[in-house]
Structures are given as structure tokens and as C-alpha cells.
Amino acid sequence: MLSMTRTLFVALLITAQATIVLAAAPPIKIGALFAVTGPASFLGEPERNTAQMVVDEINQSGGIKGRMLLLITYDTQGDATRAVQAATRLIKEDKVVAIIGPSTTGDTMAIIPLVEKSQIPLISCAAGIKITEPVKPWVFKTAQNDSLAVAKIYEHLVKRKITKISILTVSDSFGSSGREQLKNQAAKYGIQILSDDTYGPKDTDMTPQLTKIRTNQSQALICWGTNPGPALIARNAKQLGLKLPLYMSHGVSSKKFIDLAGDAAEGIILPSGRVLVADILPNSDKQKKSLLSYVKDYQKHYKAEGDHFGGHAWDAVMLLKSAISKSGENPASIRGQLEKTKNFYGIGGIFNYSPADHSGLGKDAFVLVEVKGKDWKLVP
């Protein structure tokens, strides 16, 4: 029932916004593609909600130089075919000036040829490293590269003098991207991967994989997945009495994970964007202002915690807003302006785009957090 009222609320907002729009100059159209339903809805739903919320707020405070924004959102269901169809529609029929999203790396890769050819700037909310490497002129992204998250974990392992690990990754695009990075960077940190296992996104029992890991000489286990898989792994590990330190990915950096895993979550360490620990950041932190306002707004609108993934959409809309207000609504000038973005304090980190770097974030985009007493604590 809750989500129905929520939809009604959003619908009301849209109509309200439409009436404002009617009175003023024609709105600037922005396209959005998110996997609102389907297996990747854990990304798409907060992203869609956040994007709509931010756009509404921009409009309520007078739009961009008096011009309203109109956000046109389509659901890709995490399916490449639908993503391409929807992107075509946004570009050819709705005639948007820029697109934010899609939520997944697969959807993004699928529409890149189209946006490159149509010369429409795209700010993807997906994390895959190949989206911006090699750099494509019209494609930017806000989600932190998986390689940064992996580096953060490996540095911590080195500090703890752990050299032998096992990895357990989910067999979807999130997990396989993490798995690739875990394997690629291991040698650089002098880490040896003793067992490399996967599990299916809908699997209900991971004890076989964990039983196998229990028998090797691993000193730590890194698990790469999104809810609910990692919560199951945490519980299964507890059942088996697995004593290894357990590391997870930013894929589970939300309170939901602690709810699902219960006691088994205690002591788990994971890299996360700062949004998770916004309230305990030192006041000197330059992102803190953006983070706190985002968390508060999201709570107000959707009665849920603003999370890491919604943050990608927040960054995308705000980056676009600042580019449009500086350079106007021509796709080419938006693109040029995005590329000049410097020291933008977002949710995901501090963005610095350049012609050679369209992902814009450094290693400091992640902090390590640990679950203690059913809450997140910063790991020094």
C-alpha cells in the first residue's frame, strides 16, 4: 500500500509541476532511463525517486534561470533491448537535451553507440569501468568505479597483513565486474586468491561454497553482490562457524543489509560512499553539506533512507544542472561544460572531469565502514 500512495504522491507532484510549466517558457527536457522494475530495481527505484525529487526541488526554487526542467523517465527493466528502445524514444521523439542513467552497465553499454551517434550527453549511473574507459566523448558517469572499491579493500587487507583470500561473487553484471577487478588487482597488492566462486542472484543457500572455502587456507573472504545474496552469505557463514574476516562490496551499503543479515552482519567491513555515514563525518568534510541535505530530503519524500545508489542520480541531475546553467541547453555545449566540471561536491565524491577522465572520482570517493551494534562505524 505504501508504494501505491507513494506513486500517487509522485503523480500529484508531476501534475503540479506540469501546471507550473504551462505558465512559463517551454521546459528543458531531460531524459532518464532507470531499471525501476526487474532484477536491478534495487538500483533503479532509488535512482528514479531521487532524480524526480531533485528535479522537483530545482523547479520549486525557480528552475534554471527561470526555465523549468521536465524529467522524462522510462523503465529499462535492466534489459538491453528495452534500454535501446527507450533511449531512441527519448532522443528521437521526446527530443531531450541530455540523458541520465541507465542504472546497469549492460544497459549503458547498449545505448552508448546510439548517444554517441546522436550526440546527446549521457551521464550513466552504472559502475562498470568500461563505460568511461576508453573515454567516449558524450559519455560520463557518476557511480564510482569498482576498481576503487576493490583498491580500498585490498589496502585494508595489506594493513592487516592478510595475503591469502577467497572471493565469492554473484553471477550478474555487478558481481562479474567486481570479480574481474578483484582478480586483476590482487597481484599488485601481493594478494593470492585461493578460491574463486560464484553464486546465482536467486540462490537460496550458499553453504556449499562456504564449506569449500572453510577448508582452504584463506585469511579473509570477500563477497561481491547486492541484496539479498550477501545477507544470506553472512548468515550461512555464521551457521557454519566460519571465523574469517568478511568483506563485502558497496552493493550492500544500506541499512537494509543490516536488517536482513541480523546478528550475522556484525563485524563485516565494506567500502561505501560517504552517504552511509553522513551524520558521523567530521564537519571539515567538503561533501557533508550535500550529503546531509540529500539524506534529509529523501527521508522527507519517500520515508526511507537515501542510499548510495540514489546518490548517483542526485549527482547526475546536479552535474547537469550546473552545466546547463553555465552553458545553456544545447547538447554540445552541455557536453563541453560537463567536461570542465571541477571540484563538484556530490554524493558519490568530489567530481573532477577532464577530456581524459569521464568518471571523475578518485580513491577517496570510498570510505571503509564496519557494522557495529547494528549500525555503521567508520574504519580508520
User: Where does this chain bind another protein (CB under 8 A)?
Assistant: 1-4, 7, 36-37, 39, 41-42, 45, 74-75, 78-82, 84-85, 88-89, 92-93, 105-106, 109-110, 112-113, 117, 128, 130, 171-173, 175-177, 180, 197-200, 202, 204-205, 207-209, 211-212, 214-215, 227-228, 231-232, 235, 238-241, 256, 259-260, 262-263
Grid coordinates standing for 148? 576503487
As measured in angstroms, the least distance from the Cβ of 134 to another protein is 11
Residue with smaller CB distance to another protein, 214 or 326:
214
As measured in angstroms, the least distance from the Cβ of 86 to another protein is 9
Residue with smaller CB distance to another protein, 7 or 15:
7
* Region for residue 373 given its phi and psi (left: phi exceeds 0; alpha: psi -120 to 50; beta: otherwise): left
Residue with smaller CB distance to another protein, 131 or 162:
131
CA 367 from centre of chain: 15
Q: Cβ distance 102 to 112 under 8 Å?
A: no
CA 189/CA 177 separation, integer angstroms? 19
Contacts of 26 (CB under 8 A, 6+ apart): none
Residue with smaller CB distance to another protein, 10 or 378:
10
Residue with smaller CB distance to another protein, 134 or 282:
134
Residue with smaller CB distance to another protein, 32 or 367:
32
Residue with smaller CB distance to another protein, 232 or 319:
232
| AA letter at 376 | W
CA 314/CA 320 separation, integer angstroms? 10
Cis, peptide link before residue 102, omega less than 30° from 0: yes
Phi, psi of 67, deg, nearest 5 = -90, 135
Q: Which SS3 state, helix, strand or coil, does residue 156 take?
A: helix
As measured in angstroms, the least distance from the Cβ of 84 to another protein is 6
As measured in angstroms, the least distance from the Cβ of 244 to another protein is 14
Residue with smaller CB distance to another protein, 239 or 330:
239
As measured in angstroms, the least distance from the Cβ of 324 to another protein is 26
Question: 360 pairs with which residues across the strands?
Answer: none
As measured in angstroms, the least distance from the Cβ of 54 to another protein is 19
Residue with smaller CB distance to another protein, 179 or 321:
179
Phi, psi of 198, deg, nearest 5 = -130, 165
- The DSSP-derived string for 117-132 is HHT--EEE----GGGT
As measured in angstroms, the least distance from the Cβ of 128 to another protein is 6
As measured in angstroms, the least distance from the Cβ of 301 to another protein is 15
Q: Cβ distance 237 to 264 under 8 Å?
A: yes
CA 122 from centre of chain: 15
As measured in angstroms, the least distance from the Cβ of 282 to another protein is 32
| AA letter at 173 | S
Grid coordinates standing for 186? 590482487
- The DSSP-derived string for 209-254 is HHHHHHHS--SEEEEE--TTHHHHHHHHHHHHT--S-EEE-GGG-S
